[in-house]
Amino acid sequence: MNGAADPRRRVPRTDVLLADPRLAAAEATVGRARLKAVLGAAQDRVRRGEIAPEEVVPVTLAALPETAAGLRPVLNATGVVLHTNLGRAPLSAAAVDAVVAAAGHTDVELDLRTGRRARRGRGALAALAAAVPAAGGVHVVNNGAAALALAATALTAVRQTGGAAGLGDGPAGREIVVSRGELVEIGDGFRLPDLLASTGATLREVGTTNRTALADYAAAVGPGTAFVLKVHPSNFVVRGFTAAVPVDELVTLGVPVVVDIGSGLLAPDPLLPDEPDAASALRAGAALVTASGDKLLGGPQAGLLLGDAELVELLRRHPLARALRVDKLTLAALEATLTGPETPTWRALRTTPAALRLRTERLRDQLAAAGLRAEVVPHDAVVGGGGAPEVTLDSWALALPEEYAEPLRLGDPPVLGRLERGRLLLDLRCVPVDRDEAVRAAVARVPRGRRES
């Protein structure tokens, strides 16, 4: 073989390539190891004669991820507002700014005026307390499940006498009294009763799947009771011959009532009349409310604990609380979510069908101009994330052949839609308005062959 024509001899050297300013800049973003791996693959392609030596740098740059993390931003065109597989709530721009600002060294636990240690996350806690005046105390942990685990652990532990309000001086109670209709699985095989039992607490189940009465609770409550737990069955609905006991009746039992509201509405929302909220539960007499930060609140993953000041302090001081502590990034995002402008989740829930129809028709018309025919069809969007299972949000979608699903999912950015009866539906409800163009471009980029198959 002629040496000059042998592609293997023309492979650019790694040290020369790494000195290229474009690759040096990429190395600062993705790190040396990942850059070298991608670069090595491009060099191999030169060896095999697939690309020219001059193409190594552009090919490498095109194959590199945008950040050093594998998580990729995607466009959620599923019409599912809180999609667990897509990270539930997207953060607001204000929350993202707060996260970036807190990412380096920050005064998370320092009072800059005095130079002394300060309460960790005081800004986020103050914002949460201000948002729910009915709460005497507030605390934040890793997620909703952690909030419940902390409550179950701390409140069923052997109690000091004269302890927190409502706990009384009686013998230590290790039992959690809960309705059989509220023993829910929250997803991915995780079940709340298992979570509670894993803390060492004893579950005392009362009532039946469809009906539980105050008398059922009353018969079970006794000296062994730590608290009555009310769980919002957030991802399903029992219909027909049903009965459940509201919080304001449970509090007449004389033991603390802990309410897991799930979705994290802090106050009632007329859009979601069946979703429980923290303020109402506390006003009804709940001793403690637990909730998630990244569902309807629209913030970062977090577990919110709100309620009786002494009880919250008991939880905050419990050794397990340290293991469930949130980081500065979560605290920053939570505070910005609570005090900043409306969240993307809030906006997605309130976007009107008329506005969505206009955006979708514009998308259709732009694609038609490029020779691509698609239909605009009515669509039912949903809240998702284990919330408001009965609520559908009137929406619109662009209907494409289902063959579009894979190339759009594998594109850059990936666009996720919903497959329904042989069609791919793209619902713009959860797509930020300024990303409609990115959706259009992604659809237009799908190769013709895929479109016609």
Ligand X SMILES: *Cc1c(COP(=O)(O)O)cnc(C)c1O
Interface ranges with ligand X (CB under 6 A): 143-145, 186, 231-232, 234, 260, 262-263, 292, 303, 386
CA proximity to 299, closest of 122, 413, 79, 128: 128
Compute the distance between CA of residue 10 and CA of residue 237 in angstroms, rounded to an integer: 66
Closest approach, Cβ 148 to ligand X, in A, equals 6
Closest approach, Cβ 264 to ligand X, in A, equals 8
How many C-beta atoms surround the C-beta of residue 197 within 10 A? 14
Closest approach, Cβ 294 to ligand X, in A, equals 7
- Residue among 330 and 351 whose Cβ is closer to ligand X: 330
Q: Are residues 295 and 134 in contact, defined by beta-carbon separation less than 8 angstroms?
A: no
- Residue among 143 and 212 whose Cβ is closer to ligand X: 143
- Residue among 331 and 425 whose Cβ is closer to ligand X: 331
Closest approach, Cβ 195 to ligand X, in A, equals 8
Q: Are residues 228 and 216 in contact, defined by beta-carbon separation less than 8 angstroms?
A: no
Q: In what order do the strands lie in the sheet with 137-141?
A: 137-141, 303-307, 288-292, 257-262, 225-231, 175-179, 202-206
- Residue among 98 and 146 whose Cβ is closer to ligand X: 146
Closest approach, Cβ 302 to ligand X, in A, equals 8
- Residue among 238 and 444 whose Cβ is closer to ligand X: 238
Compute the distance between CA of residue 253 and CA of residue 217 in angstroms, rounded to an integer: 8
DSSP 29-57: HH-HHHHHHHHHHHHHHHHTTSS-GGGHH
- Residue among 57 and 338 whose Cβ is closer to ligand X: 338
DSSP 8-state secondary structure symbol assigned to residue 211: B
Closest approach, Cβ 392 to ligand X, in A, equals 19
Q: Which phi and psi angles does 255 have, rounded to 5°?
A: -125, 160
